[in-house]
Amino acid sequence: MKVCVLLLTHQSKTTIFEHFDSIELPPGWSKYLLVDENSCAVSEFGDRSVVGFCHESLVKVGYHPISGTLIPGSAHFPVIEFAYTRKVDFVWAIEFDVQWTASWLDFFNEFDDYADFLATRVRRYETDANWCWWDSLKPPPGATIEWNHPNASLASFNPIYRLSAAAVCALRKRFLLGWSGHNEVTIPTLLEQEGLVVADMGGAGEFTPTAQRERIYSLETMRWRPEFSLEDVSTLEPNMLYHPMKH
């Protein structure tokens, strides 16, 4: 099975290099730094495996970012294009400020190949109706919304996630047709509509498999803000995901 792990970054710092170098993989997997060339140069990362991307090239392919840059909300486009062109079976996307407080090899071995989309904090519209990004999901001209909610059906928190080849192809087709929106609403909502399997890698929600419940992360460890300090890593709970980690 062809599996790639992508560490997404728009910064070139020693701590990020060390983070990438420390990611141990199962046999046969590969890893790359996915680098925003609008912010730093590929040459800054030495002899590591690096793939660059830029906002302009993805727009030329046919993607529709929600702003003039890929952040906020559109950093999934280079992940999807990488996985599609490399024909991978699964792709892991990890933002540079995600920390796992144990061996990454142990983390990857936690999961089987059942889900097409694995993320954190997967939830339904009804449980978080005031979330700010529901309205960002837009259909292409002439298309109609395919669900009963006013905006979308599912949301997720995506500093770290995994997509199957089927999910990559389904999303790429939708996005090139003109669907747009923040990735934390478009990915889970559109994949649910495609009939693919959406799952939570931990937590306590309805999308979490029984074996993973209340493991891997909590609402306190996977959050938007405030940042965790690298100096505090030794005091963090083991075998847990943390975000955002200050670099």
pLDDT reported for residue 149: 66
Residue among 6, 85, 11, 18 at smallest CA distance from 50: 6
Report d(CA 231, CA 216) in Å as an integer.
21
Q: Supply the mean pLDDT for the chain.
A: 94
pLDDT reported for residue 231: 78
pLDDT reported for residue 151: 62
Residue with tokens 């959050």: 223
Report d(CA 137, CA 22) in Å as an integer.
36
Structure-token pair, residue 5: 């792990």
What would the mean pLDDT of 167-184 be, rounded to a whole number?
Answer: 97
- CB neighbour class for 88 (10 Å; exposed up to 12, middle 13-18, buried from 19): buried
Report d(CA 189, CA 147) in Å as an integer.
9
191 φ/ψ angles, rounded to the nearest 5 degrees: -70, -35
Structure-token pair, residue 189: 């909502």
210-243 per-position pLDDT tens digit? 999 999 999 999 999 999 987 777 789 999 999 9
Q: Are 111 and 162 in contact (CB under 8 A)?
A: yes
* Of 27 and 126, the one with more pLDDT: 27
Lowest mean pLDDT among 27-31, 100-104, 143-147: 143-147
Peptide bond into 238 cis (omega under 30): no
Structure-token pair, residue 243: 């975000």
69-106 per-position pLDDT tens digit? 898 999 999 999 999 999 999 999 999 999 999 999 99
pLDDT reported for residue 90: 98
- In DSSP notation, 52-121 reads EE-HHHHHHHT---SSSSSTTT-THHHHHHHHHHHT-SEEEEEETT-EESS-HHHHHTT--S--SEEEEE
What would the mean pLDDT of 11-18 be, rounded to a whole number?
Answer: 96
147-171 per-position pLDDT tens digit? 766 667 899 999 999 999 999 999 9
Report d(CA 29, CA 49) in Å as an integer.
13
